[in-house]
């Protein structure tokens, strides 16, 4: 069966990653969390006190960063590695969330990450989520989803994720962080978050995770089957 690229973009915390992971597992596709890559770069920058304005320091740091993904055999979840070390937990902390939009707005950082993302998606059979996947990274993706949800719903879902990891984070702090990131992600100069013209909007405010997954899988199947029909005709 023909393999396609599925691009899932949208605001922070509206269920992109969880949906993308499940869709990839159902279709037997590779899941790539592009946000995790920007988070890993942010962690490296903070740990190594890399200036966010000095291009020489930024380029040197980028040369020293290797980001990889590995599936944890116990949990079957894909985890992020920075220079060979598992950083999956650290990159989800609020300290990183508070800086990541700033770091991901740096042109050099984006150029380096986009090049890696394109390599990872070259073989098709990929679900990638982020902010510029359908507009920049894979502008020719066969299926583009633009996800959104009410800010309060997004914030309480994110709070529940923290609670599941025994971290109590104030709801107001999460709302503020999401608002800030939405603003920075949509107004930055370098490939801002915008809905691709040919993207399908999925508003998850009143949807369960199962419903989100089902909707995206159905859309993917119609593209995959549509492709096979096109091939048979030509």
Residue 88 near ligand DC by CB under 6 A: no
**φ and ψ at 159, to 5 degrees?**
-60, -40
Binding of ligand DC at residue 130 (CB under 6 A)?
yes
Residue 212 binds ligand DC (CB under 6 A): no
Query: Contact between 144 and ligand DC (CB under 6 A)?
Result: no
Q: At its nearest, how many Å lie between ligand DC and the CB of residue 170?
A: 18
Check residue 34 for interaction with ligand DC (CB under 6 A): yes
**By CB under 6 A, residue 135 contacts ligand DC:** no
154 counts as binding ligand DC under rule CB under 6 A: no
Exactly one of 15, 35, 121, 134 binds ligand DC (CB under 6 A); that residue is 35
181 binds ligand DC (CB under 6 A): yes
Q: Which of 78, 80, 104, 155 binds ligand DC (CB under 6 A)?
A: 104
121 binds ligand DC (CB under 6 A): no
The nearest distance, CB 227 to ligand DC, in angstroms, is: 25
Decide if residue 155 touches ligand DC (CB under 6 A): no
**Terminus-to-terminus CA distance in the chain, angstroms?**
16
Interaction site with ligand DC (CB under 6 A): 12, 34-35, 38-39, 100-101, 104, 130-133, 181, 185
């Amino acid at each position: 069966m023909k393999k396609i690229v599925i691009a899932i973009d949208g605001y922070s915390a509206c269920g992109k990653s969880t949906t993308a992971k499940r869709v990839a597992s159902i279709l037997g596709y590779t899941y790539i969390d592009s946000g995790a890559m920007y988070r890993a770069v942010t962690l490296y920058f903070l740990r190594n006190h890399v200036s966010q304005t000095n291009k020489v320091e930024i380029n040197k740091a980028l040369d020293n960063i290797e980001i990889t993904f590995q599936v944890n055999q116990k949990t079957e979840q894909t985890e992020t590695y920075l220079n060979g070390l598992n950083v999956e937990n650290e990159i989800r902390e609020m300290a990183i969330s508070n800086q990541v939009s700033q770091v991901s707005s740096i042109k050099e950082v984006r150029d380096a990450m986009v090049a890696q993302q394109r390599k990872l998606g070259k073989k098709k059979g990929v679900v990638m989520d982020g902010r510029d996947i359908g507009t920049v990274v894979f502008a020719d993706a066969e299926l583009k989803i633009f996800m959104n949800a009410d800010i309060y719903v997004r914030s309480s879902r994110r709070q529940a994720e923290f609670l599941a990891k025994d971290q109590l984070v104030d709801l107001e702090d999460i709302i503020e962080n999401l608002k800030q990131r939405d603003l920075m992600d949509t107004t930055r100069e370098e490939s801002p978050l915008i809905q691709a013209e040919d993207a399908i909007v999925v508003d998850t405010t009143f949807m369960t995770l199962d419903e989100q997954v089902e909707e995206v899988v159905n859309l993917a199947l119609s593209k995959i089957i549509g492709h096979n029909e096109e091939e048979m005709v030509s």
